[in-house]
Structure 1
């Protein structure tokens, strides 16, 4: 396939067209293990929450009409008929002219339709309580089903579960939830010059950085990485390992070998694996223009640039989009902050750019500073807190311009 550069929008479209119907199995997990997992079926409330009318304050339940017009000078005098213990069902009802103590979270006796906070009560006298604050019906009461109604949609299919989602599942009594299995991602580093991190470089050799950055990013995104090690730039060797990865993994990432040149074997390997083969070779983006995306045996194969900084950025933008598409979690909202650029930054026309920036607190705003360095330097990423997307055709950023910084 020729080196046909695609736009970012076209690349996202290719991902959607080819991988949105990926068949990922589901599994049941305990909710204590479900954080950051993607729900594979709608979850419907099987009961009301709360299951009874409860007080949201510490105080006295009343029939609201008994408190209309009261004040400190003219309090309501009500007969105290009981006290509700936490976790207890009241064994009495409230009628006009009566009141009872109810703690925060306690169940309201039938007949009561409001609560008066304890600080608006006065001393008892002959079994009566004096309340000096009027209450409207429903004051400080959480009614049965106010939080969640039985039969309503609680969590939609495709939601990546957060701590608050786990909390509502616990409240409804769900001990287990069905989620998609974690995507397995095979990681392969290629290059005659690449050596293990425990080896000492000689001559023009470099340690394998990409395996470990991709492994870490994969885990952060909820995937299960499988490391296949370092492979020399030999067609047969790369083909063999890619096939091994395709047998057990949903996504295979090959770093290195994606540039157009004599050593470019990744494209040939992907094409040899079956239709449709290479879907794109090149994205109009900086960094990472020579990125490859292919599909073989129904699975995704990606060729990342060998430069660690480029591979890191492309993974953040495009592989994360691919993973969300395959696990049907949607695009979602990438964590971001708004910041002000502190210098003028000219950008390349014709290519979208993902600019690494560092963040610092200003007097009344967050300040974003572009991180400068020579191409491919991984130290740029360690200095950066996130990246700014500069659209295609833009002349760049102006000092003082407000930007959206996607956080790493």
Structure 2
């Protein structure tokens, strides 16, 4: 029988046993770093920008020269020239003068504000007429406002995003240290499972789980390794998992996680080393028979054979496990607020994850629960996301506001 743990208890076991796993670092070009985990802090060696610059097209001034100016009483300032884009501002602004600067252009060292060109008049008489006063600092980006020298731009454990690449490019950083990708092995078990190239006969079914797990692992920036299909035979499964343990950091065993006569996953994990099985059974629907084990410092997960259940377990628990191995905090899935389209009863003593389809309405989104059994791959292929219903909740009423975790 199962000795089930709650979802949060399993999260704690994952953190305790696998956080801080030692992954070697490698240095790669920043063009290939998106989605990778930063291995070492990147500290800025310079200020960005490296000079005071204008954030608008207009005239660099001493702010005090514009005080009190208006449409009816403009300030008259002598036009002292123009600073071109990319040109160093080697001029010194005198009191009562203004100089034209484009957006992004450097301003004279003693200028302390820029007046937008929309609030000025130029009658080609050698003067600029200011129709609106500005305060010191208006329309300026000061040296180091973006990134200050000595500040950490990206910290270890950060999943690198396109905008992070932009910050690295601004600093002239061409290469970055990243952790090697977590290697995840996939073993599919079951006498009834056949390769997807084969036409099933009798009660055979194609190997769905290996392929969606492979895709999910790639999507999350890890390296999948498929070890093929194995019959429900203890020694054959043990041989495959033993090989995967030598080559991978995490091993996912699809099928055989329950307590039936042919379910071998728990026996295999306990036979391969200590501490063995940490969790057998989670108080969650779908996915109750999930197994989490540890062999030395590596993780082995027994997933339910039913595709919809296996997919939810992968999204909720396996990705959490990968984050622990990376010693990183997941940015998490996007969440959308929606209203429940139908009543959904729960109250089964387990936390429940309900797949839903989203429909745009005049005032937001409606969440339609996808009713069906856990063996249906359509429950996830047609879903836009899922709801998380607490084990103490008796269900969700039609019209109630809910949070949909996008898939």
TM-score tier after normalising by the smaller chain length: over 0.9
**Counterpart Cα distance in 2 of 1:263 and 1:125:** 92
Matches within 5 A, 1:6-405: 6-405=5-404
Deviations 1:241-275 (CA, angstroms, capped at 9, x unpaired): 11111111111001011111111111111111110
TM-score by length of 1: 0.97
Deviations 1:102-126 (CA, angstroms, capped at 9, x unpaired): 0100000121111111122222444
**Unpaired runs of 5+ in structure 1?**
none
**Counterpart Cα distance in 2 of 1:382 and 1:276:** 36
- Contact 2:307/2:374 (<8 A) preserved: no
**Counterpart Cα distance in 2 of 1:238 and 1:101:** 75
**Counterpart Cα distance in 2 of 1:173 and 1:164:** 14
- Contact 2:20/2:326 (<8 A) preserved: no
- Contact 1:246/1:297 (<8 A) preserved: no
**Unpaired runs of 5+ in structure 2?**
none
How far did 1:21 drift?
2.5
How far did 1:205 drift?
0.7
Per mean C-alpha deviation after superposition, the further-off stretch among 72-81 and 299-308 is: 72-81
- Contact 1:273/1:297 (<8 A) preserved: no
How far did 1:236 drift?
1.3
CA RMSD of aligned residues (A): 1.3
How far did 1:331 drift?
4.3
**Counterpart Cα distance in 1 of 2:120 and 2:331:** 49
- Contact 2:196/2:207 (<8 A) preserved: yes
**Counterpart Cα distance in 1 of 2:104 and 2:374:** 60
Q: Runs of at least 4 residues of structure 1 off by over 3 A? A: none
- Contact 2:42/2:154 (<8 A) preserved: yes
Count of residues in correspondence between the two structures: 407
Deviations 1:349-374 (CA, angstroms, capped at 9, x unpaired): 31110110111112212111100123
**Counterpart Cα distance in 1 of 2:245 and 2:296:** 8
**Counterpart Cα distance in 2 of 1:392 and 1:381:** 22
Deviations 1:197-236 (CA, angstroms, capped at 9, x unpaired): 1111111111110011101111111111111111111111
Deviations 1:142-177 (CA, angstroms, capped at 9, x unpaired): 000111211123223222111222211211222122
Per mean C-alpha deviation after superposition, the further-off stretch among 120-129 and 157-166 is: 120-129
- Local SS of the residue matching 1:12: helix
- Contact 1:51/1:144 (<8 A) preserved: yes
TM-score by length of 2: 0.97
- Contact 2:55/2:141 (<8 A) preserved: yes
